Amino acid sequence: MAAVAQLFEEPFDADEYIERLAWRTPGGGSKGGAEAFDPKRLLEEFDNHIEELKQLDERIQRKVEKLEQQCHREAKEFAHKVQDLQRSNQVAFQHFQELDEHISYVATKVCHLGDQLEGVNTPRQRAVEAQRLMTYFNEFLDGDLRSDVFNNPEKIKEAADIIQKLHLIAQELPFDRFADVKAKIASKYHDLERQLIQEFTSAQRRGEIGRMREVAAVLLHFKGYAHCVDVYIKQCQEGAYMCKDVFEDTAALCQRVNKQVGEVFSSPETVMAKLIQSIFDNKLQAHVKEQLDEARHSDVEQYLKNLYDLYSRTTLLTNKLAEFNLGSDKHTFLSRLIKNIFSVYLENYIEMERQYLQSRSAMILQRYYDSKNHQKRLLGTGSIQELKERIRQRTNLPLGSSIDTHGETFLSQDIVVNLLQETRRAFERCHKLSDPADLPRNAFCIFILLVDHLCVDHMDYALEIGLSAIPSPDAKNANLYFLDVVHQANTIFHLFDKQFNDHLMPLISSSPKLTECLHKKKEVIEQMEVKLDTGIDRTLNCMVGQMKQILATEQKKTDFRPEDENNVMIQYTTACSKVCVYVSWQVERVRRSMDGKNVDTVLAELGVRCHRLIHEHLQQFTYSSMGGMLAICDVAEYRRCAKDFKVPLVLQLFDTLHALCNLLVVAPDNLKQVCSGEQLTNLDRNLLHTFVQLRADYRSSRLGRHFT
């Protein structure tokens, strides 16, 4: 049976079980091959094993039945125990209810008895207290204070309680009959009050919190309690301001005193609020006045910096103080304290900010122009100037002499950064110092100043100078610096837009001023974009003019009708080479000066104009067979240069021009077939005819008949 048990391994698999049994039986497995297999012995082993399994099943079944009987027996016993416990619990609950009713009855009797005793004892105590007060009153009436309570300093607390009550009683007595005794009681009242305040002060100096609490509780019913609080506040501040930083000292003082106030006074929030008000009205106000009044008229920049710093630190201090218990409306209380200190400075803040920003920006710009030894030109704005500008924009005529700037753009990123930094600090001060209702209007004022100085006085002026410095298209060896102006203006635009979004938008995003600012920004940018477009257009014309001069100077008529047709050794003409070098240089300048889609737009326009120039230029010559080949080589070089534009339109135009130049060399018999080719079939027949007319053999080969 032990062997059978070993075959039952988890997890149980019947097939695996049979295989194991067969393997353990000699002659029953595959060991030894087919000859060693003994089916009879395997059958005998299976029969024996089945009998063993039956016996094992019977034993397990008997054990299961025995355990089930034991389980039923224990379940019945447990049920009887539960029933006994339920009966015991019901009995205990009944006893508990009876005990609760009895306790309630006794408590009612005790409360009733207490009320009766109190009803009897209270009048008795009042009578005893009245008798005691009458005794002390008689002593004041006789003028002889014999009682120990008035003469023993250790009983000052009890004496204070008595004299406070006598003082209240004396106020109800008629003055004519009891004037003398009222004066004596009042004198004693003030004397005890003075002694208590002195005792409180001494205890505070000794650091005896318990004694301070006792004296403060006695003084609470005296008129001098407020004076006691004032003395406490004054003494707290003694020696508290040893450092130069009054704000750190104030925060440390209030943190230290806050815990002590709660242990000493019954209304700590009132005392704490009074302490903070005393600090603000005296220490902080004096500190602010000292820092601001001197610089207000002598150094506006320092005044604004000090005002921003002091207001920020005061606000930060109030945020820390708001953590203390100062009453239910502590935020309004702290805001009022700040207003009391800074209202005189904040009411005209924006005017001083505008004046400072105006003068500071003007000075930054003037220093820049002085460093360049440049005297700003007074640019005309009248009707004549506007008429000249319109004519110049439409015709590109050089109205008036151009200005030689010697390559100076009169735009400086350092100056722009300085202006933006000044404006950013102004926005920060505006955000902190402006009333929420005035914040959008004040921010708009600062923005307008930025527009005036950065966009108008600096950028627009530089654009005007740059436009005036652009030479005419027929000028020789023209230096084109306007693209440098475009590059720097583009950088400045990005900086200007970043400040607009980062510093101005949060201040005006929820006010009507947002629309005004966006409109002003759009208007200014559009005005400058018009001038940039005008300058770029005139610069492109000047580039084309320079190429035209190169072609006129370098291109010879004999280039395309060489005297010796068999001795042409060049790949392309000198004029073509110089034009390609010039164009490649200008394309690179355009890429450096612009970004985004502007690069493709300007290069597309430049490419179209270059194509037009070369197209017209080629039509000025008559071409021999070898000259036509050289023209094709030139156009191929132009086309290679056009690839630098990376503009599909430009490349397509030069591909077409290259196909047109093939008409200069094609055999007369094949001319009609070439004109019907893929690249030329969509072109105007007159254009094709015009190019064919440039051939030297046009008349001799009667090529005109192909176009009739």
Specify the pLDDT at position 453.
93
Please tell me whether the peptide bond between 26 and the residue prior to it is cis, using omega within 30 degrees of 0. Answer: no
Kindly state the average pLDDT of the residues 650-664.
90
And the tokens for 199?
């005792």
Cβ pair 145, 139 in contact under 8 A: yes
- CA angle centred on 164, ends 161 and 170, rounded to 5°: 140
And the tokens for 408?
């100076």
The CATH T-level fold of domain 555-706 is: Methane Monooxygenase Hydroxylase; Chain G, domain 1 (1.20.58)
pLDDT tier at 564, thresholds 50, 70, 90: low
Domain layout of the chain by residue ranges: 1-37, 49-142, 148-299, 555-706
* pLDDT above 70 for 394: no
pLDDT tier at 156, thresholds 50, 70, 90: low
Coil, strand or helix at 391: helix
Kindly state the average pLDDT of the residues 375-404.
54
* pLDDT above 70 for 571: yes
CB atoms within 10 A of CB 120: 9
Summarize pLDDT for 594-643 with one digit per residue, the tens: 888 999 999 999 999 999 999 999 999 888 888 888 899 999 999 999 99
Summarize pLDDT for 687-707 with one digit per residue, the tens: 888 888 888 888 887 887 777
Higher pLDDT, 689 or 155: 689
Specify the pLDDT at position 135.
56
Kindly state the average pLDDT of the residues 247-266.
85
Share of the chain above pLDDT 90, in %: 31
pLDDT tier at 150, thresholds 50, 70, 90: low
* pLDDT above 60 for 155: no
Higher pLDDT, 59 or 480: 59
Which segment, 189-193, 248-252, 377-381, is predicted with the most confidence on average?
248-252
Specify the pLDDT at position 400.
47
Specify the pLDDT at position 518.
93
Specify the pLDDT at position 20.
77
Higher pLDDT, 130 or 483: 483
SS (H, E, C) 319-387: HHHCCCCCCCCHHHHHHHHHHHHHHHHHCCHHHHHHHHHHHHHHHHHHHHHHHCCCCCCCCCCCHHHHH
And the tokens for 246?
């009054």
Q: Backbone phi, then psi, for 86, in 5-degree steps?
A: -60, -40
Span of 13-17, 271-275, 700-704 with lowest mean pLDDT: 13-17
Kindly state the average pLDDT of the residues 642-647.
92
Kindly state the average pLDDT of the residues 295-313.
90
Report the sign of the C-alpha dihedral through residues 232, 234, 239, 240, in that order: positive
Mean per-residue pLDDT over the chain, rounded: 82
Span of 348-352, 462-466, 524-528, 670-674 with lowest mean pLDDT: 670-674
Higher pLDDT, 99 or 191: 99
Kindly state the average pLDDT of the residues 482-494.
91
Kindly state the average pLDDT of the residues 257-269.
84
Summarize pLDDT for 203-228 with one digit per residue, the tens: 888 888 888 887 777 777 677 778 88
And the tokens for 88?
């015991």
Cα distance between residue 245 and residue 327, in whole Å? 27
Span of 20-34, 227-241, 456-470, 551-565 with lowest mean pLDDT: 20-34
Specify the pLDDT at position 209.
83
- CA angle centred on 567, ends 561 and 571, rounded to 5°: 75
Span of 134-143, 223-232, 348-357, 365-374 with lowest mean pLDDT: 134-143
Closest CA to 209 of 176, 232, 188, 192: 232
Kindly state the average pLDDT of the residues 375-388.
58
Share of the chain above pLDDT 70, in %: 81
pLDDT tier at 475, thresholds 50, 70, 90: confident
Summarize pLDDT for 411-425 with one digit per residue, the tens: 888 999 999 999 999
Summarize pLDDT for 307-337 with one digit per residue, the tens: 999 999 999 999 988 888 887 788 888 999 8
Cβ pair 216, 264 in contact under 8 A: yes
Summarize pLDDT for 195-204 with one digit per residue, the tens: 777 888 888 8
Specify the pLDDT at position 165.
65
- Give Cα separations from 638 to 335, 561, 642 (angstroms): 75, 20, 6
Specify the pLDDT at position 449.
94
Single pTM value for the model: 0.69
Cα distance between residue 589 and residue 473, in whole Å? 18
Kindly state the average pLDDT of the residues 657-670.
86
Specify the pLDDT at position 3.
47
Specify the pLDDT at position 140.
58
Cα distance between residue 659 and residue 656, in whole Å? 5
* pLDDT above 50 for 481: yes
